[in-house]
């Protein structure tokens, strides 16, 4: 969790979260107001902050989604595409636990240029290739499953539909999309992690944590159907198939 702690303590993050009350009042992100540019443009223009952010997101995402490594059945999957997979820490864990799998790590060029050492270890590297690009434009073709772990919560519904549509168009026949996300309860039940994350997404980037019904809605708009939700220790796997 070291990288995540460093990000929480960084000036960029502290100055943004200081305006949480304004985001709640207005219902929109405040990052651009505070820093003069949207969050993703800021990251591209500030490599030092982006590096801290990327490592922090790698750390927290691997903690939140670790249960899917053994909790989700990849038995009938041959090629897993990790979309927005960062430096590949989660993908390396999945490949190590499932020796029959081949993987594709896909993220921005500046991110995948510094892959996690675990992804280069013997027994994993030869089953994985690395590709770079923007999932807002396209994703690698031919995967049996497209994993987006703590990715779509960063984006509003329209952009999420755009990404999911790319996955649907690229995946092999019978393929599926796996969203590893912390779900918000449908009712007023307490869920501190999901609701804190929901506020964080609001402040930074107009994203949000979603309920099962909200996932079903963006899936339908993308030509997909919510098949099931596989619960995890923190994050669950929302499985989508072609409608």
Sign of CA dihedral 68, 155, 242, 107: negative
State the Cα–Cα distance between residues 150 and 181, nearest whole angstrom. 5
109: number of Cβ within 10 Å: 10
- Indicate if 153 belongs to the active site: yes
Q: Name, in order, each residue with C-beta under 8 angstroms of 26's C-beta and a sequence gap of 6 or more.
A: none
Q: Give the single-character DSSP code of 196.
A: H
Q: Environment class of residue 151 by beta-carbon count within 10 Å: exposed (0-12), middle (13-18) or buried (19+)?
A: buried
Question: For the chain, percent helix, then strand, then coil, each to nearest 5?
Answer: 50, 15, 35
Token pair belonging to 92: 């390396």
Tell me, rounded to whole angstroms, the distance of Cα 126 from its chain centroid.
24
- Relative orientation angle of helices 157-170 and 212-221, to the nearest 10 degrees: 60
Q: Give the single-character DSSP code of 19.
A: T
The single residue of 35, 70, 100, 153 carrying the catalytic annotation is 153
Whole-angstrom CA distances from 197 to 35, 92, 136, 210 are 21, 25, 22, 10
The set of catalytic residues is 153
């Amino acid at each position: 969790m070291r990288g995540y702690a460093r990000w929480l303590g960084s000036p960029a993050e502290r100055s943004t979260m200081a305006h949480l009350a304004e985001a709640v009042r207005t219902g929109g992100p405040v990052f651009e107001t505070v820093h003069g540019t949207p969050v993703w443009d800021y990251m591209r223009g500030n490599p030092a902050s982006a590096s801290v952010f990327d490592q922090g997101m790698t750390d927290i995402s691997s903690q939140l989604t670790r249960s899917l490594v053994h909790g989700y059945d990849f038995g009938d999957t041959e090629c897993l595409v990790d979309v927005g997979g960062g430096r590949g820490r989660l993908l390396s864990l999945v490949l190590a636990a499932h020796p029959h799998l081949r993987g594709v790590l896909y993220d921005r060029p500046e991110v995948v240029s510094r892959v996690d050492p675990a992804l280069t270890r013997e027994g994993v590297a030869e089953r994985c290739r690395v590709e770079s690009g923007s999932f807002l434009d396209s994703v690698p073709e031919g995967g049996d499953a497209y994993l987006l772990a703590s990715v779509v919560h960063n984006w509003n519904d329209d952009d999420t539909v755009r990404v999911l549509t790319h996955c649907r168009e690229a995946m092999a026949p019978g393929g599926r999309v796996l969203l590893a996300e912390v779900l918000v309860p449908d009712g007023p039940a307490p869920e501190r992690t999901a609701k804190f994350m929901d506020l964080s997404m609001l402040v930074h980037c107009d994203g949000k944590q979603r309920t099962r019904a909200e996932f079903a809605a963006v899936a339908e708009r993308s030509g997909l159907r919510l098949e099931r939700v596989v619960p995890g220790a923190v994050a669950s796997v929302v499985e989508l198939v072609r409608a």
